[in-house]
Amino acid sequence: MIPLPAGRFFLILLFGAFLLPGCAAPRTAEIAWNEAGVDRVWPSPPSTPRIRYLRTISGTGDFASDGAGARFLRWVAGDPDRGPDLQSPYGVAADGDGLIWVADSGTQAVHAFDLARGKVTYLTNFGKERLVTPVGLAVDSQRRILYVSDAGLGKVFAVDYQGDLLGLREPPGGYGRPAGMATDLQGNLYVVDVVKGLIAVFSPEGTFVRAIDGHQLEGGGFNLPSNVFVDQAGNVFVTDSMNFRVAVFDHRGDVLGTIGELGDGPGTLARPRGVAVDSRGDVFVGDAAFDNIQLFDLTGQLLLYFGSPGNGPGEFALPAGLFIDRFDRLYVADAHNHRIQIFQFLSGDK
């Protein structure tokens, strides 16, 4: 664990000023989403590819080079190689235009990567409160609100993109342990409470709306839920981790069904953690026991899986939070590899 010094922004590294001609930020279309020299797709040819590896981000070194920028980094950070990197990334969220936030309990900070400007900032304090164990993230791009859950503090913060505190999101009776979060298209916030076994729902203005406790599920409720995602239709997907499944609800909180069951082969789940849904309604589930990502349809049928243990492109070590942006880019918190891997979902026949 490498705790950062106190201060809302510990360090701002403006590499763009040194690496980009004329200090001008590139347009979104010019962001280097693809890692040079790496071309991996799943499934492999001659099958129609559905997933393409794009790139990895792990810290300030991703924006440095052997030129003036790298020398500036070494001078500022006092590090021979790079600045403070991700240590234990868990939650990840993105705006789709090159802003990526990562909750990292190892550095007790939220790392904010700006791919367009080659800049990394660190959010460590909101108001007078210092982060202890940031784990969950959600973003309301329309209102430019970032939500951060801290399991150690038992709080959910609403902040603007600069990290200025806007308020707290607290359910009646408080949280047991807040974790994964998501927003829907209307800006409602969904917060997983691991200990209380429920999902707290808030309006965009911060009013507590209701709790989804999963009592309609087989077995009578959640067993250590961890993450949540809301698709474009308003359906709510919850990783019910110790029931080895993903529970699916409609926008009213009524049960639609479950995906997955305990097992050790493709189509089953052993340690589900992250969940996300693309624009076609396909459901991505990260499994920390298999070190892979499985892709299901809404009926629970397995469509594809990719990934294996390791540290290369498309390999994982304890994958955690997932996020899919409006361009169907999949972001995976590859926790034990201390990085975020980014993939592109490709159109194609199922």
pLDDT of residue 138: 98
Q: Does 248 score more than 90 pLDDT?
A: yes
Residue 13 confidence (pLDDT): 39
Quick check: helix, strand or coil at residue 344?
Answer: strand
Do the Cβ atoms of 280 and 295 come closer than 8 Å?
no
Residue 194's nearest CA partner among 167, 160, 158, 156 is 156
Q: Residue 144's pLDDT is what?
A: 97
CA distances from 295 to 141, 245, 281, 338, 349 (A): 26, 13, 10, 23, 14
Q: Which region among 68-72, 99-103, 240-244, 248-252 has the lowest average model confidence (pLDDT)?
A: 68-72
pLDDT number for residue 82: 57
Domain boundaries, the chain: 41-345
pTM: 0.88
- What DSSP designation does 6 have? S
Residues 261-278 have pLDDT tens digits of: 999 999 999 999 999 999
Element (H, E) at 76: helix 68-77
**Record: fold of 41-345:** Neuraminidase (2.120.10)
Query: Does pLDDT of 203 surpass 80?
Result: yes
Average pLDDT of the chain to the nearest whole number = 88
